[in-house]
Structure 1
Amino acid sequence: MAATLVNTFGNGAYLATGTLFLTRSVGLSAAQVAIGLSSAALAGVVLTTPMGHLADRRGPKQVQILALLLSAACFAGLTRVDGLWSFVPLACLLAVGDGTVKAANGALIAGAVPPPDRVRTRAFVRSANNAGVALGALVGSLPLALDTRAGYLAVLFGNAATYLLAAGIVRRLPDVDPVAAPAGGPAMVALRDRPFLAFAALDGLVAALYNALLSLALPLWLVTFTTAPVTLVSAALLINTVGCVTLQVRASRGTRTATDAIPVARRGALVVAASCVLFGLTAHRPDGLVVALVLTGATVHVLGELWLASATFAVIFDLPPPWAQGQYQGAHQTGRQIGNLVAPPLLTALVLGGGVPGWLGLAAIFTTAGLALPSVIRRCLRTAGTRTPPVSPPCSPGLERSAPR
């Protein structure tokens, strides 16, 4: 939690200032920034699962520390960027480093925390993540307001320092031993697990949509279809942040296994769908009614998000075999990265192009996902027991070895 809070504090400051640094200080065009970010997303999709596999083979703690150190060097390197071709390699390395940190962190929790406590631990980490990003974005507003190169460079060096500090904190965690893969089996078992890949893709799209709904779709909607103040977006984001920081652990209670996650995932998706309907009802309404509907919709939205996140944690900890936690965490991150590519244009097309029917279409997507997720999870559960267990050395005479999970 401490490492996450420190690291995401720096990330929050960079998220608030990074785009303007690249365009106003470096001089990149919006199209060039988009090229760099798209290249980074592609690199993350291709390499995150293999890096998760590396965490299994070399130990998640060591791989996470290396990824944090690499990311620190890349953020320091961004201060020297002077064009597109110096930006693209660093952006790709940062995307791979970010995916590796998350995959290795998941494997570290799986290896260091008893199974009944993993979802609760991950919920605490998510609370710390949201708190760090929110505080960092608040601090980042100062250099954003100054709009000077010195201010932007201070954010970059400060973010690099948070990665170094996070690496130092992770170094104090208990070691999790590398795990040997089964002899003769495929190296990338996660990429052969079609039911899990289906879950990762569907969950990745759902998460990307609910994450961008308040920060992208709602602002575009309010300025186009209402006369309400845009500051409503800040209020909605505040409700979301406070809810995620204070209620994520409570929302995860009773959700420990993939079986537990089935009704929770359904409920969460349907509740987010209801928030979409509430947001859609604000079109051309009096400002007072718009305020009430947006604040209510934001509250409903965060409840659904909390349940969906809790269900996700239970699935991604419960389904992977013990020798492949890292690569399964990486495969799940890949689904998130693909969702992050699809969600912005989809939301923009639905909300700006569709109007009220667009919000209803978005509600239909969440409803369909809520009805589909239970079937996908059940299919994952049916195939989870068919994997070959790792080969263990013979037991010493007179000792019994418990059967692998």
Structure 2
Amino acid sequence: MSHLRASLRRLIPPTPLSRRLATQSLLFATAEGTFLTGSAVFFTQVVGLRAAQVGLGLTAAGVVSFLLAYPAGKLTDRIGPKRMWAVGALVAAVLFGAWPFIGSFAGYLAMVICFEIIENAAGAGRNAYILDVMPEEERVATQAYMYSALNVGFTLGAIIGGIALAVDDLTLIRWMPLFTLVIGLFNAVFIARLPRAPHDIARSSSGRKSTGVRPTGRGPLHNVGWMLSSFFSGTMWTNQVLLNVVIPLWLVQATDAPHWLLAWLFGTNTVLCIFLPAYTSRGVKTVSDALRSVRISGAFFVASCLITMATHNTAGLLTIFLVWLGHVAVTGAELYFSGAGWAFQAKLMDPARRGEYGGVAEVFSTLGGRWAPALYTFLAMSWHPAGLPSAGWLVIAGISLLAVAGFHPSVRMAERFLTREGIVDGPATDKVEAASTAS
């Protein structure tokens, strides 16, 4: 029992600021999770849209968000990360108040595009704020605790949304966004009350020539290593496509596993993503540590493909176990790459241009992974060369290995760029932040 209590204590962030950031993640995810749980019913039965219209709107919003990711990052650097985050969270919360009054595709399209732009701008501020305000040695651990809190919040939101759906009252579903509005307002106030980060202080003061804030050297669009590593990051994050799209489709169409197993798959993923991020990210302090985590993530990715591939020829309890095990393996890929990604953000960004670097990362990671739902689904479900019904899984596994292989030279290239530009004063592997002590 004492070991259990000690394990549970490790799930609590160790510092007051990290606990506040985890609490904010819980608030945000509870609000969003409640709406997302009932969104399919809301859009189709309340707003009156067809499924194709819902998909078209989300695609359009994704395209607009992609085009504006870089400008949003630059704006974050200009006005300060906390201000960007707080204002974005406030506007996003207020937008939920308009959802009950949307009754057409045109209104839905305008809303979903505006919402995507605002949320992405808030996310740019959030990411830059965390890197700016947390001490270097606490950044990865803090983001791991926040990731756990997000999963707890989405679980709570799913429970609340599920209760609303169980009532089966469209009037209640119509006004459910107001619940998200209220929690979202609390979230915005909570963010506004967080301590200001160094860049926020610098932007609001008259002394704009503060050391460590004024950018030096060229920006991320000249940093080929950063752009390439962001691209490969997008490819590695296609583990989420396996998790949420391909393995569930495979279960339904290519195996004899019962459909109720889907609930266990997603439940297992949620539980693991609550309890394990602090463990899988532990010890990730340098770029070399992060690259090791990338390799581990790639191994889990390949293992998931091979295990799931085997279920085409199994039956009964063995199929159930292997599909579940394949889903657990892809969760391992998610968790280990999360820790690596947080370390790369902390170590490979110019401290004075974190918003801009984040915007570039968003653009190139989108290019590196947005194609995956269509390609992976085709490979797993429809590509059968030489009569091999599951050969597509080998190609998917190969894509992940190429991403792992590409990560290493691109990350080292990004390090050399930072050194050449004078952003760091030596090899960036273990001390990228040496030039940003003011941050």
TM-score normalised by the chain length of structure 1: 0.90
Residue 176 (structure 1) aligned with residue 210 (structure 2):
no
Letter paired with 1:68: A
Q: CA deviation at 1:153?
A: 2.5
- 2:256 counterpart (227, 230, 233): 227
Letter paired with 1:52: G
CA distance in 2: counterparts of 1:44 and 1:255, whole angstroms? 31
CA contact (8 A) 1:218 1:233 kept: no
Cα distance change, pair 404–6 in 1 and its aligned pair in 2 (3 A): closer
CA distance in 1: counterparts of 2:79 and 2:375, whole angstroms? 39
Letter paired with 2:276: L
Cα distance change, pair 170–37 in 1 and its aligned pair in 2 (3 A): same
CA contact (8 A) 2:29 2:150 kept: yes
Tell me the residue number matched to 1:41. Answer: 62
Q: Any unmatched runs of 5+ in structure 2?
A: 1-21, 203-207, 384-388, 425-433
Tell me the residue number matched to 2:243. Answer: 214
Q: CA deviation at 1:281?
A: 0.8
Residue 319 (structure 1) aligned with residue 348 (structure 2):
yes
More displaced, 175-184 or 233-242?
Answer: 175-184
Q: CA deviation at 1:299?
A: 2.4
CA contact (8 A) 2:73 2:355 kept: yes
Residue 144 (structure 1) aligned with residue 165 (structure 2):
yes
Tell me the residue number matched to 1:85. Answer: 106
- 1:343 counterpart (372, 391, 395): 372
CA distance in 1: counterparts of 2:35 and 2:413, whole angstroms? 40
Residue 359 (structure 1) aligned with residue 359 (structure 2):
no
Tell me the residue number matched to 2:10. Answer: none
CA distance in 2: counterparts of 1:272 and 1:222, whole angstroms? 17
Tell me the residue number matched to 2:47. Answer: 26
CA contact (8 A) 1:215 1:233 kept: no
Cα distance change, pair 183–344 in 1 and its aligned pair in 2 (3 A): closer
Residue 385 (structure 1) aligned with residue 414 (structure 2):
no
Letter paired with 1:170: I
Residue 280 (structure 1) aligned with residue 316 (structure 2):
no
- What is the percent sequence identity of the aligned residues? 28
CA contact (8 A) 2:243 2:331 kept: no
Tell me the residue number matched to 2:225. Answer: 195
CA distance in 2: counterparts of 1:185 and 1:385, whole angstroms? 10
CA distance in 2: counterparts of 1:338 and 1:315, whole angstroms? 18
More displaced, 296-305 or 308-317?
Answer: 296-305
CA distance in 1: counterparts of 2:331 and 2:435, whole angstroms? 40
Cα distance change, pair 159–183 in 1 and its aligned pair in 2 (3 A): closer
More displaced, 274-283 or 354-363?
Answer: 354-363
Cα distance change, pair 54–21 in 1 and its aligned pair in 2 (3 A): same
Cα distance change, pair 184–217 in 1 and its aligned pair in 2 (3 A): closer
Q: CA deviation at 1:315?
A: 0.4
- Deviations along 1:236-295, one digit per CA (max 9) or x if unpaired, are 212211111111011111112323211211221121111111111111421211111122
CA contact (8 A) 1:267 1:370 kept: no
What's the secondary structure of 1:356's corresponding residue? coil
Tell me the residue number matched to 1:59. Answer: 80
What's the secondary structure of 1:191's corresponding residue? helix
CA distance in 1: counterparts of 2:224 and 2:101, whole angstroms? 42
Letter paired with 2:232: L
- Deviations along 1:152-201, one digit per CA (max 9) or x if unpaired, are 22331112222211111112211114356657966xx2333222122112
Letter paired with 1:365: I
CA contact (8 A) 1:107 1:325 kept: yes
CA distance in 1: counterparts of 2:217 and 2:25, whole angstroms? 34
Cα distance change, pair 85–387 in 1 and its aligned pair in 2 (3 A): farther
Residue 163 (structure 1) aligned with residue 184 (structure 2):
yes
Tell me the residue number matched to 2:328. Answer: 299
**Superposition pairs of residues 96-111 of structure 1, within 5 angstroms:** 96-111=117-132
- 1:8 counterpart (26, 29, 48): 29
What's the secondary structure of 2:97's corresponding residue? helix
Residue 204 (structure 1) aligned with residue 234 (structure 2):
yes
Letter paired with 2:421: R
Tell me the residue number matched to 1:398. Answer: none
Count of residues in correspondence between the two structures: 391
CA contact (8 A) 2:300 2:329 kept: yes
- Deviations along 1:300-348, one digit per CA (max 9) or x if unpaired, are 2222221111111100111111111122223323345455632321232
Letter paired with 1:283: H
Cα distance change, pair 373–352 in 1 and its aligned pair in 2 (3 A): same
CA distance in 2: counterparts of 1:287 and 1:8, whole angstroms? 36
Q: Any unmatched runs of 5+ in structure 1?
A: 391-401
Q: CA deviation at 1:147?
A: 4.3
What's the secondary structure of 2:176's corresponding residue? helix
What's the secondary structure of 2:273's corresponding residue? helix
Q: CA deviation at 1:7?
A: 0.8
Q: CA deviation at 1:139?
A: 2.1
Tell me the residue number matched to 1:268. Answer: 297
> What is the CA RMSD across the aligned residues, in angstroms?
2.2
CA distance in 1: counterparts of 2:347 and 2:131, whole angstroms? 9
CA contact (8 A) 1:49 1:331 kept: yes
Cα distance change, pair 138–91 in 1 and its aligned pair in 2 (3 A): same
Q: CA deviation at 1:388?
A: 5.4
- Deviations along 1:342-373, one digit per CA (max 9) or x if unpaired, are 23212321222134112222111112222222
Tell me the residue number matched to 1:328. Answer: 357
What's the secondary structure of 2:231's corresponding residue? helix
Letter paired with 1:230: H
Letter paired with 2:231: A
